[in-house]
Chain A
């Protein structure tokens, strides 16, 4: 059996087998489900040079960005 280094799940990589419509539907569903964590990351930043809003501003943490 030939193994290869795995980085992501089969479910992630299955995006390549979806039609445009299927990808759109799955993406939209994922975005809707992801709203469940909005309260938790209200002050956080996921991109850019800021890591947190001033009320809990601090130096670089694990929440960041490009």
Chain B
């Protein structure tokens, strides 16, 4: 269909290694087209990262400022970023193996759901969690993704619509008290639409702040690596992606901690 679906097929040749995520997955759910970059959840093993690097290398990709696409950093929640030009497109390819806000069980479920699909892309329920970023526009996307969910539990946990939540609560009154521990604002359903709207706004702002705090932790942990990066970029200029990867991996050791606040 386009470069992002083509890349996804190539990444997964012979084995499921990478699931298309974020903005391009939103398109495949036919909700909206809002992103020009590609984002994948990748298996956290050397075979998967090596295969993906080989695919990207064939396109002439280079690293952007990034953690190495290496399981040791990916396991700490770091992201890896490459870029290349394809015709008139600047193609950015972003990878994580530990997407934020998904539990280990949810991540295992995500991989299990995608097994055998020609173009694996993150399902609506998990995409809701991934879209709880510090960008306001992502909450509009969540609002529509929640309407694609079929389980009323999931709908009640994910909906951004006052009207939808009240209607769901009326249709499934027994579910609300059960779900309050997971989503405290459901306790406000009986207080009317205005109070529920205030609670929804507060919930969104809290999620935005939480993501900002997470990004600050990573920015702090990457500060030495950011200082070194211009020199790393000079050293890797003109190298193939695989050769550049070896240099970047070696330079990052001891500078970029495997986990923010953790061992280097």
- A-to-B contact residues, CB < 8 Å: 3-5, 7-8, 12-13, 15-16, 18, 20, 23-24, 26-28, 30-32, 34-35, 38, 45-51, 53-55, 57-60, 62, 64-66
Q: A46 is contacted by which of B66, B94, B163 (Cβ under 8 Å)?
A: B94
List the 5 closest pairs (A to B, CB-CB), nearest first.
A48-B79, A7-B143, A60-B215, A5-B161, A49-B218
Closest residue of chain A to B161, judged by CB?
A5
Q: Are A12 and B33 in contact (CB under 8 A)?
A: yes
Bitwise interface map of B from 198 to 231 toward A, beta carbon under 8 Å scored 1, else 0: 0000000000000110111011001000110110
Q: Are B33 and A32 in contact (CB under 8 A)?
A: no
Pairs A–B under 8 Å by Cβ, sample size 13: A5-B162, A7-B139, A8-B140, A12-B33, A15-B33, A27-B1, A32-B88, A45-B81, A45-B94, A51-B215, A54-B229, A64-B215, A65-B133
Q: Are A15 and B22 in contact (CB under 8 A)?
A: no
A-B contact count (CB 8 A): 147
Q: What's the Cα separation between A59 and B160 when bound, in Å?
A: 28
Interfacial chain A residues near B33, Cβ < 8 Å: 12, 15, 26-27, 30
Q: Are A8 and B90 in contact (CB under 8 A)?
A: no
Interfacial chain B residues near A34, Cβ < 8 Å: 36
Q: Are B163 and A4 in contact (CB under 8 A)?
A: yes
Q: Are A20 and B81 in contact (CB under 8 A)?
A: no
Bitwise interface map of B from 25 to 61 toward A, beta carbon under 8 Å scored 1, else 0: 0010011110111010000000000000000000000
Known: A47-B39, A66-B100. A8 touches B134 (CB 8 A): no
Q: How far is the CB of B50 from chain A (nearest CB, A)?
A: 20
Q: What's the Cα separation between A8 and B138 when bound, in Å?
A: 11
Interface size on B, residues (CB 8 A): 60
B258 contacts partner chain A, Cβ-Cβ < 8 Å? no
Closest residue of chain A to B146, judged by CB?
A7
Known: A50-B222, A54-B230. A66 touches B22 (CB 8 A): yes
Q: A51 is contacted by which of B78, B130, B162, B219 (Cβ under 8 Å)?
A: B219
Q: What's the Cα separation between A58 and B222 when bound, in Å?
A: 11
Known: A5-B163, A27-B2, A50-B81. A13 touches B64 (CB 8 A): no
Q: What's the Cα separation between A49 and B221 when bound, in Å?
A: 11
Q: Are B99 and A35 in contact (CB under 8 A)?
A: no
Interfacial chain A residues near B212, Cβ < 8 Å: 60
Q: What's the Cα separation between A5 and B215 when bound, in Å?
A: 31
Q: Are A50 and B218 in contact (CB under 8 A)?
A: yes
Interfacial chain B residues near A57, Cβ < 8 Å: 65, 219, 226
Question: Counting chain B CB atoms within 10 Å of each CB, which of A20, A34, A64, A66 scores highest?
Answer: A66
Known: A32-B88, A51-B215, A57-B219. A20 touches B1 (CB 8 A): yes
Closest residue of chain A to B213, judged by CB?
A60
